[in-house]
Structure formats: C-alpha cells, structure tokens
Structure 1
Amino acid sequence: MANPSRNVVPKSGRPKTVTLEDVAKHAGVGTMTASRAIKGTGYVAAATKEKVLRSADALNYTTNFAARSLATGKTGIIAVMCGPLNELHHVNVVHLLETEINKSGYQMRLLHTKTDLKEIMHATRATSADGVLAYGVQDLSDEFEFLNSKLLQHCVFIDTYEHPGADYVRIDLRGAVEEAVTLMLSSGRPRIAYAGYSNGVSYQEGSAVEDRLITFVASMQRAGREIEYINAWRDLPYTGRIQALRRYFEENGCPGGILCLHDEIATLIYRALRDCGRRIPEDTLLVGCDGLPFMECYDPPLSVVAQPMAEVCATAWQFLKARMADSRIPLQQKTFEAPLIVRESLNFD
C-alpha cells in the first residue's frame, strides 16, 4: 500500500477534499463500517475502529457537518451550556461532557451565555445543534422562549435540583452536606461557618436558594447555632480574594469549621488560614464540595462532598442520545447521591 499523504493534490492543483469513502478505502473496510467507527455508533471491532481512525488521521479527514445537515437533517453538533470557565468545577464538567460527546462522533459547541443559546435556537439547520446539555443553568427551563423552542425536546439538564417536565440528571448533595456539618458540630467548636458567593457580607434570613447553603442553615438551626456566612468574593482575582478572606479572619477571628460551596473556595480558604497561622484541622476543620482530584494533594488532604461528575456526565449524554433517537420516549430522570469523603481536614480527635 502506498504511503498515506495528508496533502493529496490532483492535477488541477486544488487540494482534494477527503471523503468518507477515501477513508474506508484506505482502511480496507466498507463505507458503513468506516462511518460507524468514526461516529462511535453501532458495533465495530476495536482493531477495525483503530485502523479506521488511523486512516482518518493519516488522510486529515474531518467531518463536513454542513453537508451532514443537508443530507440527514442533523448537524452532529451538541451544545453545552455551562457556567464561567474561570471556576474549576465548570472546567471539569465541560471536559467530561466533551469526552463523552466526542466518543460518539459528535462535536461540542460551548455556550457561555443565554444569548449564545438564543443564537442556536434561531440558527439555520446547518449551524444549529442536535441537542443541548445544560449544567447548572438557573431558570433556563422556565424561560418562555426556550420552552417554545424545538431544542427543549432535545435538552438534558445537569443540576443539584429537579427540572420537572424535562430530562435531567441531579446531584443530591444534602445528605453529605448534613453529614459534614454534623461532624463539625460534634467537635464542640463554637463557630461553624459557610463560605460561598453572595452580594452581602452576612447571611440574610430566607436568602438561601442553593441546596448546600439550605442544608447548612437547616442543620445549624436544628442545633441552635448561629449562621456565619463568609463571602468568597467571586469577582476578585485570586490574590484579592485571598486578601479579603485573610482580612475577614483577622477582623473576626477564625471559625472552628468551614464548609465551602466549591473546592476552589476551599483552596482559597486553606491559603488564607495558613497565612493567618491557623492549622488544619487542629484550629479549623475544612470541607470542600466538588471532589476534584487535587484536593487530596494538600497537607493535610482536604475532605470533600464528592460530586460523581464522571457518572453524571455519562448518564446525561446517554439520556440525550436516547432523546435524539426518539423524542417520544418517557421522561428520563435520575438522581445521584454525593458521598462525603472524610480526610485529615475533618479529623479532630
């Protein structure tokens, strides 16, 4: 067999567009087999799939999504709507979803705002999306324009609360958060605080709208304890946030335990406490809430409410594929319970 070339130039002097048929011929398989191998659909032996993908790479083959749209009515594009990528848990979710999407032969289009979503809703067929995966997007399922768009029929929500009337995968954090607060309360330390994002500098009665804070407040109230809220200042750069947290601890003293909205906040709290000469866990117990791998790399390793995002993202993608295949199937809804992983930062014996 001749050596594969990435730059096939016919006599006309114009580069030749590599087709699926070219890939199939190069790999020595049928066109349907090559199509299944590249899309990740149907059964293809592992060795055959590897051979097809090597041929596609050798020929510099890329799927023509506009042509696919005209031929099949599908774009091969999945829109992923997520929060800001300067927050590490969002980056992790996008990575996991993109991995699942690409394995099935689709491409991901990342949407940063609801305006991006509206552009998708009003796009032509060739530039639209076959489905949407929405992570932590508040109130999207209640918006009139989205409710009346075809995309809602092919949308799966990933969230910490339910989306009645839609496909969703939910992460239930309540049990693990309550367990973490109970452990911190059992240490006998007088001050247990919650660190999150807020427009204010203190907790306002009835202002909790997120499961972690709601569960924290309920646990503290049952124990007859005051609610201490620490603002982690989302809009400041990292150095500014650490300085603001350090000032808080210098002016108010350090709580005996802190539950954090995210692992990233726990990281900032960790640094601010260390700057103030506080020891973890001897002086302050510390718990994050994501379960990102680097949390066990600290000294001491940090405890976390571990969101099972790999399983969550894989399930959400399976739900969306099933919905795209048949929009008439019953609602698909599943809840994963997040466990509390207790490490040295919660050890107060």
Structure 2
Amino acid sequence: MSTIADVARLAGVSKATASRVLSGKNAALVAPATAERVRRAAQELGYQPHPVAAALATGRTGAIALWMRNVHRPFFSELMHYVADQTQRHGLDLIIVEQRHTRPESEGFLSAGSQWPVDGILAHEPPGVVQGRPVGAWPSVPVVVMSEMPFTGTDAVHFDLRDGASRLYEHLVQQGCRSLAYMAPDEVANSARGRYAAYCDVTGRHRLKRTFIAIPEAAESCQAGYRAAYDFYAHGGRADALCCHNDELAIGALRALRDLGLRVPEDVAVSGCDDVTMAAYVEPPLTTIRIPIREMVENAFAMLMDRINDPTIPHRNLTLPTQPVVRASTVRRKDTLHEEDPS
C-alpha cells in the first residue's frame, strides 16, 4: 500500500508539502502547479490516506453517528436508509449506535454508548432528556435531535404527531366509533404528549369510552400487538376502534382480530402510526399517521452540517406536520375512503 512518502517521492516534493495538499490543511501555501503534481502522483499510486492520520491532520473524523433505539423495527430501517443516503452524498462514514430502553434519563447521553470519535450525532429520541432539555452528560460534538417532543438547548427537528393523530381520531368518530381503545407501552399512559394526548383530547371532547391496552415496555412489535389484541377481545374486551401506538402493533392486531372472527373495520376499526411501507400492503390496508421521515432526516442532516462548520450559530428548531392516511381498515362509510395507491 502506498504511503505519503511514496507520493512525495513521485511528485518530487517533501512529505510536508504532499501532506498539506492531500489533507487540505494549509493547502493554500502550496503553488497550484505543485499541488496538481501531488494529486496526480496520489492518483497514479492509488494512495488512500489513513482515516486516523487524516483525522489528526484535519481535526475531522469524516464520520457521523446515528443514535436510535431498536434498529430491527421498520420505522428505524427507513430512518437508517435516509441517513445513509445523506452520508454517502457527502462522502461521510456512518456509525449506527443502538440503545434500547435500559437506562434512566438521568444517566445522560454519553452513558448510552455514544462516545464514538465522530464529527456529529443525529439522535432520534435520545436519552438524557427531561421535558425537552438535555441533562447530565451530553456529547461535546454537535448533536441534532429528531423527536416527537419539542427540544430546547440543542438543534432539533420535531414532528407534530398531536395534530395528525387528532385528525385521525376525529375520522374514527365520523365513522361511528363510540369506544376507542389505545394500545401502547405502559409508560405512554403517564405522558401527555403527541398521539396519546390527541387520543385523550378527542375521546374527552366527544365523551367516548376510553380503554388503555398496555404492552410490555419497548415491545412495540407485531407479536406484541397480536398478543395484546387477542387477549383483550378474547376475554370480553369491548372497543369498536383500536388505536395502536405504531403500525407494527396495528398489523399484529389485524391478525388477532381475524383469528377471533372479528371483521375489520365493521366490528373493529384499526389504526396505526408511522406509515411504514408494509402498512399499505396488509389486508385490509392500514389507516395510519404519516411521519415525514425523509424530510425530517434531510433537515436534521443540513442542521448538523451547519453546526459542524460553524459551532457558534444559534440553535434551531423545526416542526414538521404529520398527516393521517385513511385506508380501508377504518372506513365503514365507503364514501369517505381516500385510500392511496401503494405503487
């Protein structure tokens, strides 16, 4: 493998000059013709700078970390896809850091496995946060948060689930639903934000029966949705609409209702949240709330690049809207169906 010394020898310059040109540090001190000769020599030899050496020379690692929970879930797979697309476009490496719900918020961000040598971090729902503010140990590198909850004290892109969820649950009322159950982890019942807050608002406003179906913490999977829905309806539970905290829970619930001989949406209307790709392809197609994942990532990545290039700029927060996507799983009145073509 060629070294910087090989490049310098072929170009007829000193190692220091070759290093200036190839690292970009103090490259302006080198005459253009000399710099071009160094670059041609590097190309001819197939020279690739060692990443650690390059980081020491430039103060940049050329890597971005993506912090998130439960990488196996479809929502996070799509999130990873869009972040990887951005890092590739910018010639950066991507480090994935997974942290599930295993640490208290007071331990902070750094204790959650984010102490990587990176230039910046994109964090989806990070730890070390209380009421929208970072607390405890927090990374020294730039951080941009992507979250359902508004943030202060750092750059953030927030998606407003309360509005999108409120419109979806009003749709259920319009379809004649009079008892709405909400399926989510236990911890959600103790919060007053986002989609669950919208559920409480709508059921309270219309004086509808409200039921909370708890699943184990962080078990927001198809299997958990199946078990919870099956147990609830098989043991006499009554709700003519089932509002699930995410699409995976809803897809599991669809199968459970089918196994119990209950019709969707005639007996039970089912909705989810996220609008993952599979939501449009299950039977019946799933009504859900669309989170603009690509737009969220593009804006967060642009914020991170700006913060890396100029750490002194003021913190910025951006709120993105969410949209209800009405499909056949909740439509009892066929004149109100606005199902999208999944193709």
Fold match (TM-score > 0.5): yes
1:187: which partner in 2? Answer: 175
Q: Deviation per CA, 1:147-173: give whole Å up to 9, x if none.
A: xx522xx11010012111211111011
Contact kept? 1:232, 1:245, Cα under 8 Å: no
Q: Deviation per CA, 1:32-59: give whole Å up to 9, x if none.
A: 99999xxxxxxxxxxxxxxxxxxx9xx9
Contact kept? 2:289, 2:323, Cα under 8 Å: yes
Contact kept? 1:98, 1:108, Cα under 8 Å: yes
Q: Which amino acid aligns with 2:295?
A: E
Number of residue equivalences = 298
Q: Give the direction of change, closer, same or farther, for the CA distance of 1:34–1:183 in structure 2 (3 Å limit).
A: farther
Q: Which amino acid aligns with 1:131?
A: G
Q: 1:60 and 1:119 mapped to 2: Cα distance?
A: 40
Q: Secondary structure at the match of 2:235?
A: helix
Percent of pairs identical after alignment? 23
Q: Give the direction of change, closer, same or farther, for the CA distance of 1:193–1:138 in structure 2 (3 Å limit).
A: farther
- Report deviation, 1:215: 1.4
2:157: which partner in 1? Answer: 169
Q: Give the direction of change, closer, same or farther, for the CA distance of 1:210–1:86 in structure 2 (3 Å limit).
A: farther
Q: Give the direction of change, closer, same or farther, for the CA distance of 1:175–1:119 in structure 2 (3 Å limit).
A: closer
Q: Which amino acid aligns with 1:93?
A: L
One of 184, 201, 226 as aligned partner of 1:218: 201
Alignment map for 1:221-260 (pairs within 5 Å): 221-233=204-216, 234-235=218-219, 239=223, 242-260=226-244
Q: Give the direction of change, closer, same or farther, for the CA distance of 1:65–1:246 in structure 2 (3 Å limit).
A: same
- Report deviation, 1:291: 1.1
One of 232, 246, 266 as aligned partner of 2:250: 266
One of 124, 130, 135 as aligned partner of 1:135: 124
Q: Which amino acid aligns with 1:157?
A: V
One of 140, 155, 158 as aligned partner of 1:150: 140
Contact kept? 1:111, 1:117, Cα under 8 Å: no
Q: Give the direction of change, closer, same or farther, for the CA distance of 1:308–1:18 in structure 2 (3 Å limit).
A: farther
> TM-score, normalising length from structure 2?
0.76
Q: Secondary structure at the match of 2:123?
A: strand
Q: Which amino acid aligns with 1:70?
A: L
Root mean square deviation, CA, Å? 3.6
Q: Give the direction of change, closer, same or farther, for the CA distance of 1:341–1:33 in structure 2 (3 Å limit).
A: farther
Q: Which amino acid aligns with 1:253?
A: G
One of 53, 78, 83 as aligned partner of 1:97: 83
One of 173, 184, 205 as aligned partner of 1:196: 184
Q: Secondary structure at the match of 2:55?
A: helix
> TM-score, normalising length from structure 1?
0.74
2:32: which partner in 1? Answer: none
Q: Which amino acid aligns with 2:203?
A: M
Contact kept? 2:2, 2:46, Cα under 8 Å: no
Contact kept? 1:120, 1:128, Cα under 8 Å: no
- Report deviation, 1:188: 2.6
Gaps of 5+ in 1: 1-14, 26-30, 37-55
Q: 2:301 and 2:219 mapped to 1: Cα distance?
A: 32
Q: Give the direction of change, closer, same or farther, for the CA distance of 1:34–1:176 in structure 2 (3 Å limit).
A: farther
Q: 1:324 and 1:267 mapped to 2: Cα distance?
A: 40
* 1:72 paired to 2:40: no
Gaps of 5+ in 2: 12-18, 25-42, 334-343
